[in-house]
Structure 1
Amino acid sequence: MPNERVPTRAGVIEAAKKIAAILPPTPLLPVEINGTPCWVKAENLQPIGAFKIRGAWHRLTALSDAGRAAGVVAVSSGNHAQGVAWAAKRLGIPAIIVMPHDAPQVKLDATRALGAEVVLYQRPGEDRDAVAAAIIAERGGTLVHAFGDPWVIEGQGSAGIEIAAQLGHEPSRILACCGGGGLAAGLALACPNAEIYPVEPEGWDMVGQSLAAGEIVRAASDAPKTICDALQPIATKPINLDVLIGRSSPGIAVTDDEVRAAQRYAFSHLHLVVEPGGAAALAAALAGKVKLDLDTVIMLTGGNVDPHAFAQTIGGAN
Structure 2
Amino acid sequence: MKQLSLNDIQAAAARLRGKAVVTPLLSNIELNRRAEAEIYIKPENLQHIGAFKFRGAYNRLSQFSEQQRQAGAVAFSSGNHAQGVALAAKMLGMPATIVMPKDAPAVKVAGTKSLGAEIRFYDRWQESREEIAQDISEQTGKVVVPAYDDLDIMAGQGTCGLECVEQLQEMGMTAEVFLCPVGGGGLIAGLSTAVKALVPSVKVLGVEPDLFDDHLHSKKAGSRQKIEGTPESICDALLAPMPGKLTWSVNSRTVDEFLSVTDAEVEEAVRFAFRYLKLVVEPGGAVALAALLSG
- Taking structure 1 as the reference length, what is the TM-score of the superposition? 0.86
Which amino acid in 1 is paired with 2:236?
D
**Of the candidates 21, 26, 32, which is equivalent to residue 23 of structure 2?**
26
Which amino acid in 1 is paired with 2:25?
L
Residues 215 and 258 of structure 2 are in contact (CA less than 8 Å); yes or no, is this contact kept in structure 1?
yes
| Residue 7 in structure 1 maps to residue 4 in structure 2 | yes
1:198: how far off?
1.2
Q: Distance in 2 between matches of 1:24 and 1:45?
A: 8
Residues 20 and 54 of structure 2 are in contact (CA less than 8 Å); yes or no, is this contact kept in structure 1?
no
Which amino acid in 2 is paired with 1:245?
S
Q: Percent identity?
A: 43
Higher relative contact order (Cα pairs below 8 Å, separated by 6+ residues): 1
Equivalent in the alignment of 1:238: 245
- The structure carrying a bigger strand percent of its residues is 1
Equivalent in the alignment of 1:259: 266
1:86-125 matches, cutoff 5 A: 86-125=87-126
Residues 6 and 193 of structure 2 are in contact (CA less than 8 Å); yes or no, is this contact kept in structure 1?
yes
Q: Distance in 2 between matches of 1:234 and 1:36?
A: 33
Equivalent in the alignment of 1:214: 222
Which amino acid in 1 is paired with 2:14?
K
1:219: how far off?
1.1
1:1-318 matches, cutoff 5 A: 5-31=2-28, 32=32, 33-168=34-169, 170-192=174-196, 193=200, 194-222=202-230, 224-288=231-295
Q: Distance in 2 between matches of 1:75 and 1:8?
A: 25
1:209: how far off?
1.6
Which amino acid in 2 is paired with 1:167?
L
Which amino acid in 1 is paired with 2:128?
D
Q: Distance in 2 between matches of 1:69 and 1:199?
A: 39
Deviation by residue 1:103-150 (Cα, 9 ceiling, x = unmatched) = 110000000000000110012221111211121122221111001010
Q: Distance in 1 between matches of 2:54 and 2:175?
A: 22
Q: Distance in 2 between matches of 1:206 and 1:142?
A: 28
Q: Which runs of 5+ in 2 are unaligned?
A: none
Q: Distance in 2 between matches of 1:197 and 1:34?
A: 16
1:24: how far off?
3.6
Computed over aligned residues only, the root mean square deviation of the Cα atoms, in angstroms, reads 1.3
Residues 70 and 142 of structure 1 are in contact (CA less than 8 Å); yes or no, is this contact kept in structure 2?
yes
Residues 26 and 46 of structure 1 are in contact (CA less than 8 Å); yes or no, is this contact kept in structure 2?
yes
Q: Distance in 2 between matches of 1:70 and 1:37?
A: 48
- Most deviating of 5-14 and 116-125: 5-14
Residues 21 and 48 of structure 2 are in contact (CA less than 8 Å); yes or no, is this contact kept in structure 1?
no
Deviation by residue 1:21-56 (Cα, 9 ceiling, x = unmatched) = 323410100131333221100000012100001000
Residues 163 and 170 of structure 1 are in contact (CA less than 8 Å); yes or no, is this contact kept in structure 2?
no
Deviation by residue 1:212-248 (Cα, 9 ceiling, x = unmatched) = 22211111124x2100011011211221111112211
Which amino acid in 2 is paired with 1:181?
G
- Most deviating of 270-279 and 117-126: 117-126
1:208: how far off?
2.0
Which amino acid in 1 is paired with 2:4?
P
Q: Which runs of 5+ in 1 are unaligned?
A: 289-318
Task: Report the secondary structure of 2:211's partner residue.
Answer: coil
Which amino acid in 2 is paired with 1:123?
R
Residues 16 and 159 of structure 1 are in contact (CA less than 8 Å); yes or no, is this contact kept in structure 2?
no
Q: Distance in 1 between matches of 2:174 and 2:2?
A: 26
Which amino acid in 1 is paired with 2:257?
P
1:284: how far off?
0.5
- Taking structure 2 as the reference length, what is the TM-score of the superposition? 0.93
Task: Report the secondary structure of 2:51's partner residue.
Answer: coil
- The structure carrying a bigger helix percent of its residues is 2
- Most deviating of 81-90 and 232-241: 232-241
